[in-house]
Amino acid sequence: MNWVQIIIIIISGAVLFSLLVALIKGIYLSVRNVTRIFILNGIKLCLKFIILIILELDVHTVERRNSIDV
Closest listed residue to residue 50, CA positions, set 38, 39, 58: 58
- pLDDT over 80 (residue 38): yes
pLDDT value at position 39?
Answer: 94
pLDDT score of 57? 75
- pLDDT digit string (tens) for 40-57? 999 999 999 988 888 887
- Cα 14 to Cα 60: distance, rounded to the nearest angstrom: 69
Does this model's pTM top 0.95? no
Q: Rounded to 5 degrees, what are φ and ψ at 2?
A: -100, 175
Positive or negative: CA dihedral 22, 28, 29, 34: positive
